[in-house]
Structure 1
Amino acid sequence: MGYDMYLVRSPEGEDAAYEAASRSFDAAVEHRDGLDLPYDHPQYQALQVEVAHAYDAMEAARTTHFHLTTWEMSECRALMDHFGMLAAAQPPDRPAPEEYGTTPGEAVAAPAGGAAPVAVHRYRKALEARLSWTPPQPEGIAAHKLGGDEGWTVTPGEIRTALTAYETSRAANPALLSEVIEDADWWPAWIGYLKHAAGHGGFRAYGPPVT
């Protein structure tokens, strides 16, 4: 369990590259297992190395996704707050289906896309607008967007202002960054993902439900 982030817009060609890498991984596993060798056999060990390489290549091909455990996200929010990357913002109230002429049951059961009734489509658009809402001049990533399971959209504008704040803050205390990386080795990859997401429409964040 943890938090999963997905780019709003996948890089061109990534889906095809991931599918190809996934097929290569499956083929490597099938070849290894098809020989029915004991785990300690030298040939099995050699094939296992190939499987591991194929898996790494498959994971490297998927740049749309970033995962943090629940504990890591807790650390992440604390670090981002320290670096001035988060902002307090109050999103609009959640729209009610009845305001758009539909019901909760119909909104859940209706098919995705254009096949949904007009009222459901309008309601879903209102939901999307709320999840991607940001102040006219964001001062960082809205803190509430890095919590809960609603799928908040962190926009490119929020990300860029957060990264600007980060660069300013870390320049003032470079020694702190070394300590951060030592304790949170995922941090450089997270910053890299933020930069990547800023050029691909931002990202959507999904975590455990708020209780």
Structure 2
Amino acid sequence: MGYDMYLVRAPEGEDAAYDAASRLFDAAVEHRDGLDLPYDHPEYRAVQTKVNRAYDAMEAVRTTHFYLTTWAMSECRALMDHFGMLIATRPLDRPAPEAYGITSGEAALAPAFEMLGFPVDYTGDAAPAQVQRYRKALEERLSWAPPQPEGIAAHKLGGDEGWTVTPGEIHAALAAYETSRATNPALLSEVIEDADWWPEWIDYLRHAARHGGFRTYGPP
């Protein structure tokens, strides 16, 4: 279990590039699995090397996603708090379904993008108007940030609701980080040594700020 972060807006062309890389990986796996050879055979090992390279190439293309284990996210929040990158902000109250003319059952389905066995199409713009309004209210709650944020709302890096971290929050958090590390470069060296994913996380934050922010999904 862990935390999955996804960019709000994928970089142009990335989906197509990932699909192409995935096909190459699948072809390499199919070739490997079709070999009637033992695992330690030189030809099998050579093909396995190609599979590994194809997988690495596929993962390198996908910049929309970032993953941290539950433990690493706990460390991440502690480090970000130390660097002044997080702020304590109370989220908006969850909208009441009844206020939008829908039932609690329909509300549970509203955020989903495919409704199995449900008699009404709830996907995208085909959803009933009241469901679309409720879905919009949910998104406003999940993405709300102060007009001039001073960092990322701490609650957005926890839970399974899909909180949206906005570009404004990210820029403020990165500014606080740059200020903090400039005053204590020795601490940064310790951070990188103990949390080897930290430089990639900072790069991901910069990347996300250019693509609408990111959404967080973690354990309930």
- Fold equivalence (TM over 0.5): yes
The residue type equivalent to 1:168 in the other structure is: T
Tell me the equivalent position of 1:96.
96
Match for 2:99: what amino acid?
A: E
Corresponding position of 1:190: 201
Cα root mean square deviation, aligned = 0.8
Q: How many residues align?
A: 209
Alpha-carbon separation, structure 2, partners of 1:173 and 1:64:
31
Give the one of 112, 118, 132 matched to 1:121.
Answer: 132
Unaligned runs of 5+ in 1: none
Could you list the per-position Cα deviations for residues 76-104 of structure 1 after superposition, in whole angstroms to 9, with x for gaps in the alignment? Answer: 00000000000111111000110111112
1: distance between equivalents of 2:36 and 2:214?
43
**Structure 2 match to 1:69:** 69
How far apart in 1 are the matches of 2:95 and 2:153? Answer: 19
Post-superposition offset of 1:202:
0.1
1:203 matches 2:209: no
Deviates more, 1:30-39 or 1:142-151: 30-39
Aligned to 1:22: 22
Deviation >3 Å, runs of 4+:
none
Counterpart in the other structure of 2:112: none
Match of 1:154 in 2: 165
Question: In the aligned structure 2, how far is the partner of 1:189 from the partner of 1:119?
Answer: 41
**AA paired with 2:216?**
A
> In structure 2, what is the Cα distance between the partners aligned to 1:196 and 1:142?
18
Gaps of 5+ in 2: 110-114, 116-120
**TM-fit CA distance, 1:115:** 1.3
Partner SS for 1:68: strand
Q: Deviations over 1:46-86 (max 9, x none)?
A: 11110000000000010000000000000000000000000
TM-score (norm 2): 0.94
The separation in 2 between residues aligned to 1:144 and 1:158, in whole angstroms, is 13
State the identity %: 81
SS at match of 2:211: coil
For 2:43, give the aligned amino acid: Q
What is the alpha-carbon distance in structure 2 between the residues aligned to residue 184 and residue 36 of structure 1? Answer: 42
Structure 1 counterpart of 2:85, which letter?
Answer: M
Distance 1:133 1:41 in 2: 57
Residue 34 of structure 2 corresponds to residue 34 of structure 1: yes
Tell me what 1:167 maps to.
Answer: 178
State the alpha-carbon separation in 1 of the partners of residues 70 and 48 from structure 2: 31
Measure the CA separation in 2 of the matches of 1:182 and 1:91.
34
SS in 2 for 1:5: strand
Residue identity in the other structure for 1:106: E
TM-superposed CA distance for 1:192, in Å, is 0.3
1:183 positional shift: 0.5
